[in-house]
Amino acid sequence: MEIKVLKCRIPMIVGLLSGLLLFTFNVIGFNFSHFPGDLGDARLNIYFLEHASKFFSGKIASFWDAPFMYPVNNISTYSDNLLGSAPLYLLFRLTGMDIFLSFQMWYITISALNYICAYYFLNYVFKNRYAAVLGAFIFAFSIALNSQLTHAQTFPRFVIPLSLWMAVRFSEDLKLSSFFFTLILLVYQFYCGVYLGFMLAIPVCIFLFFIVLRAIIVMRNEVRNLRWFSGIIVLTAVNILLLLPLMIPYMERNIIPDPEHYNLISASLPSLNSYLFSPKGSMFWNFLSSNGLQYTAWWDHQIFTGGLAVTCFIASAICLLYHLLRSRITLNKTVITALLTLTGFITLVLFLRIDNFSLYYTIYQIPGFSSMRSLTRIINVELIFFAIATAFIFSLIMEKYKKQTMLIYITALFFLVIDNYQKPEYLHRTNVNSARERTLDLEKAYSVLPVGSLVSYEPGKIESDPVHYQLDGMLAAQKFNLISLNGYSAECPREYVLYWHAPGTKSRNFWLCKKVISFDTIFTVDEKANINKFAISEIKRDCNLIVAKEKLDFFIQTIRADKKWMEHILEKALKQNIPIDSMIQLDAQWMLENLNN
């Protein structure tokens, strides 16, 4: 019996190992030399994982008031939180692994979970373990995910197939328990990552609507029962209550829909071109690697899912449309596949941008959705629908050619591997040793400071992205339980911008000038690891001596250093027919005058 079970699982294991070896370990290296992402966002996510693990292990009292960008309150709400998957990271930290190795092991574990959960979901829907392997491979190891490597908060996606699995169960039995598990898994996805929680909510709600509508049309007994509808309402309310502990801190930031903000973030909505925009280093698709270079943040638009996945997605839509027109869709797995495919298509359309038009504007008005800025991340959810389409098409092929099932499976898996493979030198990844070495001298300085001290890393000359230096200071302070003035997140308070771009005496004093500080002193460390100690009272006095011209110069330098801001300046200067320097001066003056508003 055990041998028979093992044989049944061999295709699943082969698919998993193929994906881990040729995608996951392609990123980190078999010698664990790299971690996914860059020195910026990747290390920010490491910081949050470490912060959450300290919170879970009782080493810190507050999760939301993370000790960076002092004295900003509720700073953890400025970004995704990774609360739901942090316990996995904590397990590796408890074994004695450092933050980088724990992050790598977390990434491997999450990758495996993404594949396994997708496999069992697809195998349940199509009752074909070979087709399920092919679909699960696309969900967990698609070439489209290379564009997401800098966003570690999108890695935990294993809840997506689980939530849809429970929704499929609900479509079959209409039991309240299935409905509850669908929603509780959706809530858990919010805890794993708020971005994907919001994005997953769209297809889950669409699919649940179709399920109830279908039940009404076929006159299922359950929908005639008022008690059943009451149960749906109660369980929905229960899950909203379970979500509140996570969402209330975010709601306190009062992020509301705004047309100006929507215009800024709409460029991150994927276009049809985005789905045919491949990263460089592919074995087949390099000719697609220039398709979206004209987009702002074009690297996030590289969401081509591979030739096989795209072909199957189109083929499944045509196939189901054909059966619908021929009235051959029956009330079995075919109709579930049809509803899932329709759900995926509607989700894609809702997030699609055609020139400057998108239906997403209606979604943007829903509370919470206005907090998201990078909307190409919807590919993380949409991949489950590409996976469903692939499993569906191959289940049909294998059903027709049963004797050739193994040959079809091996051939398709081989093509999937080379279809989605990307050369390591083109991957978004960072050398672990270079990341470690950045903070060695800083850690030596921080190690002698009293626990709980307020510190500021001020390296002087900035030779790369200022964010990298801010994270150097954050991670070193976190290691020795210090309070960091340095900080980086999705956004920051207006007054912090100067310090963000150039941490030093003037920008530090400018930031601290009108803040309520609970420390008497602050320790600063320069690029040579020299420690200086300043009285906060002296800083406050000196800060008030900064004249308006100096402040204005800071703003001008900040604007010139920001590429996106300069693009906006150029547009306004052309519209108003004034020199670019004058437009920069006007923007800087406006910032200075409205700084406290």
Taking residues 555-563, what's their average pLDDT? 84
Mean pLDDT (whole number) for 160-174: 95
Q: Which of 73-77, 137-141, 214-218, 331-335 has the highest average model confidence (pLDDT)?
A: 137-141
Question: 284-315: per-residue pLDDT in tens?
Answer: 999 999 988 898 889 999 999 999 999 999 99
Q: How many angstroms separate the CA atoms of 502 and 458, rounded?
A: 8
This prediction's pTM: 0.88
The average pLDDT across 180-209 equals 96
> Which range has the top average pLDDT, 331-345, 464-478, 570-584?
464-478
Parallel, antiparallel or unpaired: strands 483-484 and 531-535: unpaired
What pLDDT is stored for residue 302 in this prediction?
A: 95
Hey, what amino acid is at 46?
A: I
Residue whose entry in the numeric block shows the structure tokens 């890695």: 155
Instruction: Categorize the per-residue pLDDT at 264 as very low, low, confident or very high, splitting at 50, 70 and 90.
Output: confident
Burial class (CB in 10 A: 0-12, 13-18, 19+), 305: buried
Name the least confident of 526-535, 544-553, 559-568, 588-597. 544-553
The predicted model gives 505-527 an average pLDDT of 88
Reply yes or no on whether the pLDDT at 72 is more than 70: yes
Alpha-carbon distance values, 151 to 41, 79, 147 (Å) = 7, 11, 8
What is residue 252's predicted lDDT score, i.e. its pLDDT?
72
**Least trusted range by pLDDT, from 118-122, 217-221, 437-441:** 217-221
The answer to whether residues 478 and 444 touch, using CB atoms and an 8 Å cutoff, is: no
Q: Residue 36: beta bridge partners?
A: 429
Highest mean pLDDT among 175-184, 252-261, 520-529: 175-184
The mean pLDDT value for 133-152 works out to 95
Q: What percentage of the chain has pLDDT greater than the value 70?
A: 95
Assess whether pLDDT exceeds 80 at residue 85.
yes
| pLDDT value for 572 | 84
The predicted structure's pLDDT at residue 163: 97
Position 439 scores a pLDDT of 93
Output the six-digit token pair for 378.
Answer: 């919807």
**Which helix (H) or strand (E) segment is 431 a member of?**
strand 429-431
Burial class (CB in 10 A: 0-12, 13-18, 19+), 513: middle
The band of 331, judged by pLDDT with boundaries at 50, 70 and 90, is very low
* Token pair for 310: 């795209």
Rounded mean pLDDT, 549-561: 79
- The Cα-based distances of 339 to 265, 269, 458 in angstroms read 30, 24, 56
Q: Which among 241, 232, 238 has a CA at the least distance from the CA of 208?
A: 232
Whether residue 591 contacts residue 557, with contact meaning beta carbons closer than 8 Å, is answered with no
**β-pair type (429-431, 521-525):** unpaired
Q: What is the mean pLDDT of the chain?
A: 89
pLDDT at 354: 93
Looking at residue 207, its pLDDT comes to 96
Beta-bridge mates of residue 533: 523
Of residues 414 and 248, more confidently modeled: 414
- Lowest-confidence pick of 133-142, 331-340, 470-479: 331-340
Span 323-327, average pLDDT: 69
pLDDT in tens, 10-26: 899 999 999 999 999 99
pLDDT at 77 over 70: yes
How far lies 75's CA from each of 218, 250, 254, in Å?
50, 10, 14
Residue 192 is predicted with a pLDDT of 94
Please check the confidence at residue 546 and state whether its pLDDT lies above 80: no
